[in-house]
Structure formats: C-alpha cells, structure tokens
Amino acid sequence: MKSFLLSCTCFVFFCFSGNAQSHTIRINQLGYHPMAIKQFVVASPHTAVDFKVVHDGVPIYEGVLGDVQEWNLAGEKVRLGEFTAVEAEGTYTIEIEGLEASHPFKISPRVYDEVLPASVRAYYYLRSGTALKEEHAGKWHRNGGHSDLKVSYHRSLQRKGTIDAPRGWYDAGDYGKYTVNGAFTAGQLLMMHERFPEVLGDGSLGIPESGNGISDLLDEVKYETDWLLTMQDDDGGVFHKLTCDRFVGMVLPEEAQCERFVMAKGTGGSLDFAAVMAKVYRAYHTIDSAYAEQCLTAAKKAWAWAKTHPNVAFKNPKGVITGEYGDTDFSEEWFWAASELYKATEEMEYLEYIKKQDITFEYSYGDGWRKFMKYLGIFSLLSDDSQIPESLREQLKNGIVSLADVLLDKSKTLDYQQAVDSYQWGSNSDIQNTAVIMAEAYRLQPKEAYIFGVQSALDYLLGKNAVGYSFLTGFGSKSPMHIHHRPSAGDGIEAPVPGYVVGGPNFDRQDRNQVTYPEGVAPMQAWKDVMPSFASNEICINWNSPLPFLIAFYTSSLEQR
C-alpha cells in the first residue's frame, strides 16, 4: 500500500463518470463450498420478501429474506438471504420477483481451485528484468524491461559507482521495486508455505521454474528475494528502493524509459529484510543449504546494521515523487525481525529482545505493510515447533484469540459482515488481513465462527460487497477490467491478467481530480473500475499476498470438519 503520489502519472487524465449500476443481488460470484454458510445481500429492497435458488431453470429451494437493515458504510438499505441447506454441486442463480437474477454461481468443493494458483501466478506477470514468453504468459507475453544492471546510486547519496540489482517484482501499477513492501509480501507468501507446504507444489503455476523439484510458490518468492539480496550494502544496511525520480506513462516495461536509481538505506527496510531472509533460510535449508546460509548471514548483517542505526527513517530525496513507504516507528519491524531470527537460530539475543517488548494486540487500518508485520512475527513464534517460554506462548496466544474475537464481533455488526470500519487506501488488504488473524486464531482455538469470518472476507472480495463487483481480476461475472496498472494499460489486451486483487473502496479518494465520484458517495462505494483510479483500482503485491493463505486455510478447514 502506498501514498496517493505513488501512481499519479505526470500527464492529465480525462474524468470518468462512474460504474454501471451495480447488480442488486450481491453474492459471491464464484460460488460456495457445499459445507459453507451461503448468504447474499439484496440492496435497495422492495416489497418482495421471497427468494428462490434456481438450477437449470428449476427452483430447488425457497426462502424468505430478512428484515430491512440500513447500512451507513455501504450507503444502502438491504435484506439478507440464506440458503445454507443447498449443498448439491451445480450452477445456480438467486431469483426474486421483480429483480434481475443474481450472477450465476457454483456450489462445489473445488470452487477455489483456479483462484488460488492464479493469485500467486499473478506475481510472475510482475517480474522485472525478464521477457514473459508466450508458453508461460499466454496472450499477456511481453518483452523484458528494466534489467537493473549497473544502477547508479541516487545523487542524494553523493556516492560514486553502480550496483547490479536484477530480478524482483514490480511493486504495483508502477515500475518501482521497494524493499519494505517486497519483504513484507514475500513474508506473507512464505507463511502460506509454512502452513500449507503441499499446496502450490512443483508444476502448479506453469512458470519457467516448474519442473525443478521445488515448490512453485517458493520459486516465485525466490525471484523476489534474489533481488532483495542485491539491495544489501557491504555494511549490512539495505537500500530502500530502486525507482526513477518520477513515474512514467502508462506503457509497457520496455517503453518505460527513465534513469533508475538505488536510494538511501533505512532502519525499516533493513529490519524487514532481516525478517524475510530468516524466513527464507527456514524454507530453503533442506532444499538449497548454500542459498539458505547466504540468506541467514544477510539477515544477521542487516540486524547488526539496524542496531547501530536504530532510527534512520527514509524520506524521498528532493525531486523524487515515487513511492516512499515511509515510517518513523520501527517497533513492528524490530519485533518481526527478532521473531524470525529467533525461529531460525534460537539465539538468545533475539528472544531477550522479544521478552522485553510491551506487546499490544490491535488492528491498525490502512497500515498493512507498516503494522501487520508484527503479527507475522507472532504467528511464527506460535508455530508448533517454536521453542519459546510457555508464559510468552500463552501471552501471544491469548492476545491473538482476543483480537480475533474483537474483529469477529465487529464483523457481526458492520456492513457486509466485515471487520473493517475505515475504508482507506488498499481496504481490500484490511479485509484480508483481519481474516488472517481469525484464521490463525482458529489454529490456536478452533472456533467455527472464525471460519465464517474468513469466508465472509472471501465472499466480499468476490462480489458480496457494496459495488457488486468481484474485486479479483478474471474471476466472477463482473470483475475489474480497467485496473491502474501500466502493463495492462499498455499491452493492447482488453482483459487484465487474472488473479490481481484491486485496492478496493477508498473514502479518501486521492484521485478525485482525475475520477468523478457520485456526490455523497458512501465509504464502501468509493471505488471505480477506471484506469485513472489509482486510489481504488490499482494493484499492489501486498494486496495479493494474504489471499492464497486464506483460500488454503478455508478449504482445508471445511474439509477437516
């Protein structure tokens, strides 16, 4: 997630006047597992209160809608319907007299089989410095761009020479590469691998590395961590980002011509780097011991640098307007790094640091990349094989369960059964990360309500929301077609790459000078499927990283019931 300047291009956009009217029946457009709680929302309800579930033109279930509710966050009056009793596999619609039928949806235990790999395969299309060949990329194949060899240090560093920093993912709708968000995103994907190591195995993604005997998920993450390793200076500190001074136009990578620079080191990026490299060590130590040791050595060097530079906040140099990922409070980064390094080494220095911390348990909306990494550390410390004192384990366990209960209780009272009441930049990240906390709470205390909390997040992302869109490109009957993403804008292909989570409703609307929102728009409707909407319709690597974990958790949990 980035400030609004990140993707504001340097030319003027035409204004767009909005989406077509959203479908009245809001439902998960993909569908439901047979054992799922199956609910939908009818917006702007009229006098009809009965509904039918229809299969092949034949009603197979009839129900009654709930009472009218007024939802202020969504700006709607609604009724809720439920058809949990319908479990037979098939394709269905919801029909209500006087309204158009719902989008078709499936009931199947395999309803997420295509979404999960697509949400990770999407990273392949963000690879920097390599051509995407047709055999892997299909119609979205393209030439390579930004080899990032012999990259100069930014003039603000007053440092001669160059570094080679190839590989890595483009961070979002722009062509920058950012250490903080890259490390955080890789960390979330590695958590997915730790919890579900058999999911997304070798050959599951159809990427160039498929067939090498290593999980495709790990292969894709390594493309990013290889780049992160190049960003470490000889003294252990880690450079914050690799970008141009400003954003280029909406063109393909090979056409995005501007001089790229490596910019100053910072405490936050160095600690995030230390954390994820310790995580890579654990993932690779039985696969590629040399690479694992390289990563662990790099992690320790970054930690040591941060100890001697504990408060170095990165600020964009004068004249630079690409993403800042700025922060001045590094407590979350310190905790994450100490947790992952302790897990990797069991050295007391890291545990002693953790034990001295006043650990609080609250969720900070709009701060995923900046505040959620503490929870990645906690989740690692609570892993079954973690050697931590029992008192610390109980403190962390009770804190996560209590927070999950707070979020679950909020979701019961808030619109569309979400735990989010502040719709900021990248709100779809908040929707997912609150669900990640519930999923981890379920592992600690298996309460079935947590499973429904996760399902509610997936339902919301896939169409049961205030705009009636699936927020995942390529999935659902009505999904984003005009994302704020330079390769998608420049490739001449109508449909974007499938599998990207767009930012979602953003009531701050930092793009309001380029995009016209309705007067008095409600927070949950502050979203536009138009390319200029960098504030709501951009994609970003950390908005995708919780999704594969949530799907893997949800499907496995239902199957184990």
Catalytic machinery residues: 174, 484, 529, 538
Q: What is the DSSP string of 30-96?
A: SEE-TTS--EEEEES--S--EEEEEETTEEEEEEE----EEETTTTEEEEEEE-TT--S-EEEEEE-
List the end-to-end C-alpha distance of the chain, in Å, as a whole number. Answer: 35
Number of continuous H segments (helices) and E segments (strands) in the chain = 16, 14
Q: How far is the C-alpha of 59 from the C-alpha of 63, rounded, in Å?
A: 11
Q: How far is the C-alpha of 121 from the C-alpha of 544, rounded, in Å?
A: 10
Residue 33: closest CA among 560, 475, 559? 559
- Per DSSP, the three-state class of 268 is helix
Q: How far is the C-alpha of 170 from the C-alpha of 163, rounded, in Å?
A: 18
What strands, in cross-sheet order, belong to the sheet with 39-43? 25-26, 39-43, 76-82, 69-71
- The answer to whether 284 touches 345, Cβ cutoff 8 Å, is no
Greatest C-alpha distance within the chain: 74
Q: How far is the C-alpha of 312 from the C-alpha of 157, rounded, in Å?
A: 14
Residue that has been written with the tokens 């390599």 in this structure: 130
Q: What is the DSSP string of 333-346?
A: HHHHHHHHHHHHH-
Distances in whole angstroms, Cα of residue 214 to Cα of each of 292, 410, 434, 458: 14, 41, 31, 29
Tokens linked to 218? 């790990």
- The answer to whether 96 touches 111, Cβ cutoff 8 Å, is no
51 DSSP β-pair partners? 63
Q: How far is the C-alpha of 53 from the C-alpha of 262, rounded, in Å?
A: 57
Cα angle 524, 525, 527 (rounded to 5 degrees) comes to: 110
Q: How far is the C-alpha of 7 from the C-alpha of 24, rounded, in Å?
A: 32
Q: What is the DSSP string of 480-547?
A: -SS-B-HHHHHS--SSPPTTPBB----TT-TTTTTSPPPTT--GGG----STT-TTTSBBBHHHHTHH
**H or E segment and range at residue 101:** none
Q: How far is the C-alpha of 237 from the C-alpha of 264, rounded, in Å?
A: 9
- The answer to whether 132 touches 141, Cβ cutoff 8 Å, is yes
- The runs of H, that is alpha helices, within 91-163 are 115-121, 134-137
Q: How far is the C-alpha of 128 from the C-alpha of 164, rounded, in Å?
A: 13
